[in-house]
Structure 1
Amino acid sequence: RAYSHELYRARHVIENVFRALKRWRGIATRYAKLTASFIAAIHVRCLFLYLPVHTA
């Protein structure tokens, strides 16, 4: 079966981001009932996933 290696790699990255988002309890249980608050929580979590964490 033929498939696109680049497309499969991009899908894998996206699925890993969703897995990391679901592991965060605030998003998984949806504490924020307003849509704007929920989207803001997703943005904050994505920033934590994207930015490197430096501990001194």
Structure 2
Amino acid sequence: MSKRKAFPLRINPKLYEVLERWAADELRSVNGQIEFLLREAAVRAGRWPGAGHSQEDKEV
């Protein structure tokens, strides 16, 4: 597994509750859900290098 960059994130408590429920529905941690959503947005925006071509793209 690749190294992860840790950083603090301030987020609206209501948004966190939504993310918490969403993550539980998809059997992910909140951190994993946020990373998944950000990666998907980066792919859709064409900003993720080699989108869909490497194993690292699929890690959550």
Tell me the TM-score normalized by structure 2.
Answer: 0.31
Greater Rg by CA: 1
Tell me the TM-score normalized by structure 1.
Answer: 0.32
Structure (1 or 2) with the greater helix fraction: 1
